[in-house]
Amino acid sequence: MNEFDVVVIGGGPGGYAAGIRASQLGLTVALVEREALGGTCLNWGCIPTKSLLHSAELYTQMRSAEDFGIQAKSVGFDLSKIVQTSRGSAEPGDRATDEEK
């Protein structure tokens, strides 16, 4: 059985920060997370919500593009794709880098 100096329960922003700091102080650390590292904010709350808001902002800007001399005919949106993108926004490797585009 492994022994640790510190056991951190929860891998959200506070939990992983506590684990990192304990490790920096020379302690052995076990971090226990029942779902996904990063917690609610990273995986279901803050970050995915920002992606949804960005999609809404972009759609709004495209609808008024002609005010700026840009022709954007038939602007629409695909809600299922927007949601899918927001769910992947927190997962590393799911988004293309500028070099891959």
Which pLDDT score is estimated for 97? 40
The reply to whether 53 and 81 lie within a common domain is: yes
The reply to whether 30 and 53 lie within a common domain is: no
Which pLDDT score is estimated for 72? 85
| Within a domain: 99 | no
Q: What is the pLDDT along the chain (101 residues), one digit of tens a residue?
A: 899 999 999 999 899 899 999 999 999 999 999 888 888 888 888 888 999 999 999 999 999 999 999 998 889 999 999 999 988 866 655 444 444 43
| Within a domain: 97 | no
Is the model's pTM score more than 0.85?
no
Considering its fold, how many domains does the chain have in total? 2
Which domain range does residue 55 map to?
A: 47-88
The reply to whether 27 and 54 lie within a common domain is: no
Which pLDDT score is estimated for 94? 46
The reply to whether 51 and 36 lie within a common domain is: no
| Within a domain: 95 | no
The reply to whether 56 and 81 lie within a common domain is: yes
Which of 34-42's residues contact partners 24+ apart within 8 Å by CB, and which partners? 36/11, 37/11, 38/11, 38/12, 38/13, 38/90, 39/10, 39/11, 39/12, 39/13, 39/15, 40/12, 41/12, 41/13, 42/12, 42/13, 42/90
The reply to whether 31 and 59 lie within a common domain is: no
| Within a domain: 100 | no
